[in-house]
Amino acid sequence: MAGKISAGGGGGRRDTQPVTDPNVIPFIDIMLVLLIIFMVTAPIPTVDVRIDLPPPNPIPIRMEGLRPTIVKMTDSTGQLFITVDEQPTTIDRLGDKVLERAIENNPALSIRDIYSEARVFLRADQESAYGNVIRVMSRLQEDGFVKVGIVAEEAAF
């Protein structure tokens, strides 16, 4: 136990009192070790939605003879309204309606090539919930359409 020694007069009398300051160095050492352990073992964040980014030097998209199929969706008053090339449909019949319109828009493609080559663009209004946009995109991909994209519009402020 450490004591405090005072060098005062009094003819060799020593006054010893216990040190009351806490020793925090071991606590800091343990916290740093725990911090390193948590940093090393932390899981790497994962993404559920696959996003294909364009290459650094964009290659022009060749769309000779190909017309895209436009899927518009609006989300008002809690209801989801979907149109395919201005023809209304439901999310259950979305794949069939897009296939029908893609065949009409791209008569040069065979039905097998429609799924891999026809472009489907999704346009949603700003009030549409993100979950609904992803749900429609996922439905199109589940139905077999490979080239599904989002059409961006400038926001009106």
pLDDT, tens digit, 9 for 90 and up, residues 5-18: 555 555 556 678 88
Give me the DSSP letters along 62-106.
Answer: --TT--PEEEEEEEETTEEEEEETTEEE-SSSHHHHHHHHHHHH-
For the chain, residues with pLDDT lower than 50 are none
Phi first, then psi: give them for residue 147, nearest 5 degrees: -100, 80
User: Residue 105 has what pLDDT?
Assistant: 86
Contacts with 105 (C-beta within 8 Å, 6 or more apart), sequence order: 66, 67, 68, 69, 85, 118
User: Residue 39 has what pLDDT?
Assistant: 87
Report the distance separating Cα 25 and Cα 33, nearest Å: 13
Residue 152 structure tokens = 């961006």
Report the distance separating Cα 97 and Cα 88, nearest Å: 9
Chain segment 103-131, per-residue pLDDT in tens:
888 888 888 888 888 888 999 888 788 88
User: Residue 110 has what pLDDT?
Assistant: 82
- Going by C-alpha positions, the residue among 155, 150, 144, 143 that lies closest to residue 71 is 150
Report the distance separating Cα 102 and Cα 100, nearest Å: 6
Phi first, then psi: give them for residue 85, nearest 5 degrees: 50, 50
| pTM as predicted | 0.56
Q: Which domains does the chain have, with CATH numbers?
A: 69-150 (3.30.420.270)
Contacts with 129 (C-beta within 8 Å, 6 or more apart), sequence order: 75
Beta strands in the chain (DSSP E): 69-76, 79-84, 87-89, 119-124, 147-150
Contacts with 146 (C-beta within 8 Å, 6 or more apart), sequence order: 115, 116, 117
User: Residue 12 has what pLDDT?
Assistant: 57
